Amino acid sequence: MAVPYFRLDLEKEEIDGVVRVLKSGWLTTGAECQGFEDEFGQALGGGVHAIAVNSNTSGMHLALEAAGIGPGDEVIVPDLTFTATAEVVRYLGAEVVFADVLKDTLCIDPEDVKRSITPRTKAIIPVHFGGMAADLEALQALAAEHNLRIIEDAAHSFPASLNGRPIGRHGTFATVFSFYANKTITTGEGGMIVTDNDAVADRCRVMRLHGIDRDAFHRFQGDSASWDYDIIAPGFKYNLPDLAAALGRGQLARAMTMQSRRQAVADTYRAGLADLPLELPPEAPEGDMHAWHLYPIRLTQGAPLSRAELEAALTTAQIGYSVHYTPLHRMTYWRERYGLSDNRFPVSTDYFGRCISLPIFSDMRIDEAEEVVATLQRILD
């Protein structure tokens, strides 16, 4: 039986939601988007700002802009992530400083962050890798000591929790989720900035739509024509259309069920792969939630085959897989700009040589997970 790496999980409520918007006569940002923001904030416990944007990348750009990051500043980012985490720093003319990750969680190593701090450091962008929470406590201690902002790249981590609180509720400068097509919940393209800081929320709201000052807009609406508004900055075009928001509301309503189905796949993998020459990703600690966007495994050092041989065997068996990620220090732009090499990043380099991401998605059936397990048992025994 062939098992794909990913399959979309869409139900009637999402499709009905999009049709509702199509029939409403209003396609761009409006009431659906407002509803999605309200419901997303509620899902994180309420009493927090949720600002919908058209991607996680644009959300992180807005959060860094709100933090006042600019030329001459440095922002510390993990080496093992998607390039979006780092590129947003360059959008603002600031410099990226890459740090290595921890061997077990694959999230940024606070000790390496500490060593990377200079007088120019202004922010840290941890990634909750694969849906496993980064060590925010250690990072927040460093941030407090050195007056740094933390902007969480939560592209993989809805819904996830750490120390009993959801990701998005740890009091950092901002947390940014992704609703890209293959993320844990999707709007096709989309993202959400979450913050409990009123000023940060106001700045992100203004800058996501051309720098239009909504307060000025509303203030004048009563007294003058509705064409009248003010522009307070050269903003961006980062708003989320209602079509996408309607899809997001349907997905959000099912997010916990979808997580439990990915958890069941992870449980099947843990039980079935434990005796093979593989290193499996850690579970979230007791009482916390792993979002399970990825299931990254590593061949052990003494494994009977290489990553390339494992890939060939999986391809023959028609089992989908991926690799997350080629470390950014290996990418031409980042390597050349900062003169980076493998020996600066021993953990991500070693991980990259031995890793494979197995299929894990909410529409995956347990018999499909069992097929992946049986195939790996056959290949590796």
Ligand X SMILES: *Cc1c(COP(=O)(O)O)cnc(C)c1O
Which of the following is catalytic: 12, 23, 122, 183?
Answer: 183
**Shortest spacing between CB 362 and ligand X, in angstroms:** 17
| Stretch of 31-39, 80-88, 161-169, 244-252 lying at the interface with ligand X (CB under 6 A) | 80-88
Size of the site for ligand X (CB under 6 A): 14
Which residue number, 149 or 273, has a Cβ lying nearer to ligand X?
A: 149
Q: Is 184 in the site for ligand X (CB under 6 A)?
A: no
- Cβ 215 to ligand X, closest distance in Å? 28
CB of 99 to ligand X, least distance (A): 15
The reply on whether position 239 binds ligand X by CB under 6 A is: no
- List the one residue from 41, 110, 159, 191 that touches ligand X (CB under 6 A): 191
Binding to ligand X by CB under 6 A, coded x per residue (else -) over 109-138, reads: ------------------x-----------
* List 73, 74, 153, 368, residue binding ligand X (CB under 6 A): 153
* Residue 365 token pair: 């059936």
- Phi and psi for 157 in degrees, rounded to 5? -125, 40
User: Is 84 or 108 the residue whose CB approaches ligand X more closely?
Assistant: 84
183 counts as catalytic = yes
- The Cα 238–Cα 231 span in angstroms is 16
- Least distance CB 157 / ligand X (angstroms): 9
Q: Are 341 and 329 in contact (CB under 8 A)?
A: yes
Task: Please report, as residue ranges, which positions from 9 to 68 form the binding site for ligand X (by CB under 6 A).
Answer: 55-57
Give the CA angle between residues 105, 110, 115 to the nearest 5°: 140
Q: In 3D, which of 295, 39, 33, 44 has the Cα closest to residue 190?
A: 33
Dist. CA 306–CA 174, nearest whole Å:
40
Pick the closest to residue 297 from 316, 327, 313, 273 (CA basis): 273
The half-sphere exposure of 126 on its side-chain side, counting CA atoms within 13 A, is 35
81: contact with ligand X by CB under 6 A: yes
Task: Candidates 24-32, 152-160, 196-204, 247-255: pick the segment binding ligand X (CB under 6 A).
Answer: 152-160
Q: Can you tell me which of 50, 52, 64, 84 binds ligand X, judged by CB under 6 A?
A: 84
Contact between 155 and ligand X (CB under 6 A)?
yes
Q: Are 207 and 168 in contact (CB under 8 A)?
A: no
Q: Select from 82-90, 106-114, 308-316, 366-374 the region that touches ligand X (CB under 6 A).
A: 82-90
Q: Please state, in angstroms and rounded to a whole number, the distance separating the CA atoms of residues 100 and 342.
A: 11
Taking the complex as a whole, how short is the minimal distance between the CB of residue 352 and ligand X, in angstroms?
A: 15
CB 219 within 8 A of CB 69: no
Question: Applying CB under 6 A, which of residues 178, 263, 357, 375 lies at the interface with ligand X?
Answer: 178
Give me the least distance between CB of 84 and ligand X, in Å please.
Answer: 4
Task: State which residue, 82 or 269, has the beta carbon closest to ligand X.
Answer: 82
> Could you give the residue numbers annotated as active site?
183
Binding residues vs ligand X (CB under 6 A): 55-57, 81-82, 84-85, 127, 153, 155-156, 178, 180, 191
